[in-house]
Amino acid sequence: MGTEQLSALAAVPAGLIGLVAGSFAGVVVDRVPAGGSVIRPPSHCDACGTPLRASDNIPVVSYLALRGRCHHCRARIPLRVLMTELVTAGVFVLLAFRLPTLWALPAYCVLAAGLVALSAIDLDVRRLPTPVVYWTGAIGAAGLVLASAGSGRWTALASAAIGGAACFAVFFAIFFAVPKGMGFGDVRLATLCGVFLGWLGLRLVPLGILLGFVVAGLPAIALVVLGRATRKSQLPFGPFLAAGTLVGVCFGPAILHALPLF
Ligand SMILES: [Zn+2]
């Protein structure tokens, strides 16, 4: 079987697991900023507290079947719940097609689910909760070791460490020089992104981070031009760093092939 067919075969379970992972990411988004447990209590309606039936807890399907409302009190289920599931599943499928080896798929799916949750939390409450960064990093790093063992790419672990260290150094310097520019959460997140970009190749590290700044710069400039923000307004940087990293992971080699920046 060729690489293409193998990727297509992996994309189906990756998408289905992505729906479940996205559903879990939604629970993380709902509960972690308020200090709640992600395991207990079981899922319930935020409005009336009624526990969800098993049939209410199927990603995407339940949302559509219930037309976005609680079966008990008919309160609206936030659209964010559906979006988190769809975006996570979409990124998992993309990763199945774009990663150089399927051995790396579990690690990058963990990264993607973590980045989706962190981005949604950052947009919501302007924070990047440390436990989410650490759990994503710990489980994802185990995945990278598995990826190296399976594919024989042991040197990739060294570039992952270098990528993480380089991003930590650069972002810590920015944090130190312009403390109001970003929070320490951004330094932790950039380190995480550097590790996963680095595993795929050191050239992807500056590219992924640069893409984050470019993606962040466009809406920031637009808001300033439209008079909706001043240059001193703060935009959450996490979602842009996450987006830049995922674009770098999926399309970095193609971008560098067309535009040899690094
Ligand atoms: Zn309800």
Look up residue 243 and give its two tokens: 């987006």
pLDDT beyond 80 at 217: no
Rounded to an integer, the average pLDDT of 41-45 is 86
Closest CA to 192 of 205, 183, 177: 205
Sign of CA pseudo-dihedral 181, 114, 132, 34: positive
Rounded to an integer, the average pLDDT of 84-91 is 96
Q: Residue 76 C-alpha to ligand 1 middle, in angstroms?
A: 8
Look up residue 227 and give its two tokens: 């008079």
User: How many C-beta neighbours within 10 Å does residue 207 have?
Assistant: 23
Look up residue 175 and give its two tokens: 């944090």
Q: Residue 46 C-alpha to ligand 1 middle, in angstroms?
A: 7
Q: Residue 124 C-alpha to ligand 1 middle, in angstroms?
A: 22
- Tell me the per-residue pLDDT of 121-177, one tens digit each, with 9 for 90 and over: 998 898 999 999 999 999 999 999 999 999 999 999 999 999 999 999 999 998 888
Rounded to an integer, the average pLDDT of 93-108 is 96
Q: Tell me the C-alpha distance between 15 and 97, whole Å.
A: 11
Q: Tell me the C-alpha distance between 76 and 66, whole Å.
A: 10
Q: Residue 64 C-alpha to ligand 1 middle, in angstroms?
A: 16
